A = this chain, B = another copy of it.
Amino acid sequence: MSIRIGIVGYGNLGKGVELAALQNKDTELVAVYTRRDPAAVKPLSGVPVYDVAELEHHQDRIDVLILCGGSATDLPVQTPKYAAMYHVVDSFDTHAHIPDHFKAVDQAARMSGHVALISCGWDPGMFSLNRVYAESILPEGQTYTFWGKGVSQGHSDAIRRIEGVRDARQYTIPIESALEAVRSGSNPELTTRQKHLRECFVVPQEGADLERIEREIVTMPNYFDEYDTIVHFITEEELLRDHAKLPHGGFVIRGGSTGVNGENHHVVEYHLTLDSNPEFTSSILVAYARAVHRLAMTGATGCKTVLDIPPAFLSPKSGEELRRSLL
């Protein structure tokens, strides 16, 4: 029996979930749900597309609903709403608002007897797991998270809002010397500027004042002012040719000490290098949809995060097979 998956929202993430559900032998994509005109949405796999309103009536068709909306305005409304009807997975990634989101989703899921997994992906998600494992094992130490090299959509958008900018792509780049210092086990104090570099590829409008655009980027509060920022002006052709993909990745590194006098140093490093941020995130969402399905079958209810899920639940293999082949 396959795990029947429904997708809400067919953007980059929804398309990635579709591909991941096809790639896994024990999952079956049943339908895509959209707030747009369903006739205008054409899934690659040809599955039916419905208006989200139909979700009121499709409970018997779907085991787990994967919510592929944005964290700013979609998920705070959608996840509690659909957790009252389905087992759900979301990728809510506004770290500061996770406690509030958890509370709202937990109430809806508990009252209706569903399992709702929030904040799934790689950060929050796999990076969170690695922070918790490493800190639990090495209580005396320091954890560092680096992001990149990869495209930050938020920073790219911020550049696009500057007058005279037609399009832009911003890469967040971890600084190699900072990585090396952390890997050495010296647990250095690092400023924002020492950890990451920001590189921007900007397509200006014709006749725009390039000096002003560059100044507005590098001095932009919160987004760029605390970083060393490199700005390149390029043509639209170059942007499409060289910067069409959405690569990303990063590092979680913990240095810690053990011994009678803390004389032994240990470094735990987790490193992702991703050609496609949305496709990797979607692959995580589908593995956790499997876990949610299993957890629901144990009778669990309420809001969960990746920290609450036994790793074996993510795998299609049985416990016996895992112990034999992967332990």
Contacts and interface: CB of A to CB of B under 8 A. Distances in A.
A275 interface: yes
A132 B268 CA distance: 18
B326 A131 contact: yes
A308 to B, nearest CB: 5
Contacts of A266: 272-276, 279-280
Given A310-B308, A310-B309, A312-B307, A326 B135 contact: yes
B284 A137 contact: yes
B311 A129 contact: yes
A207 interface: no
Interface residues of A, number: 70
A287 interface: yes
Contacts of A185: 273
Contacts of A311: 129, 132-133, 136, 306-309, 311
Contacts of A95: 327
A200 interface: no
A130 to B, nearest CB: 8
A260 interface: yes
Nearest to A44: B260
B315 A136 contact: yes
B259 A267 contact: no
A35 interface: no
Contacts of A316: 136, 139
Nearest to A273: B267
A94 to B, nearest CB: 11
Contacts of A136: 287, 290, 311, 314-316
Interface string A111-134: 000000001000010101111110
Given A98-B324, A98-B327, A305-B323, A315 B272 contact: no
Contact of A102 (B128, B290, B323): B323
Contact of A126 (B133, B135, B265, B314): B133
Interface stretch (A4-12, A19-27, A58-66, A229-237): A19-27
Interface in A15-33: 16, 19-20, 23-25
Given A137-B284, A271-B271, A98 B323 contact: yes
Interface string A297-327: 0000000011111111011100110111011
7 contacts: A44-B260, A98-B327, A129-B133, A132-B315, A266-B275, A267-B272, A309-B311
The 9 closest A-B pairs by CB, nearest first: A136-B314, A264-B275, A307-B312, A264-B276, A258-B279, A269-B271, A267-B273, A136-B287, A136-B315
Given A95-B327, A271-B271, A307-B312, 12 more contacts: A23-B258, A98-B323, A99-B320, A102-B323, A119-B327, A136-B314, A258-B279, A258-B280, A266-B276, A268-B272, A307-B310, A309-B310
Interface of A: 16, 19-20, 23-25, 44, 95, 98-99, 102, 119, 124, 126, 128-133, 135-140, 183, 185, 258-260, 263-276, 279-280, 282-284, 287, 290, 305-312, 314-316, 319-320, 322-324, 326-327
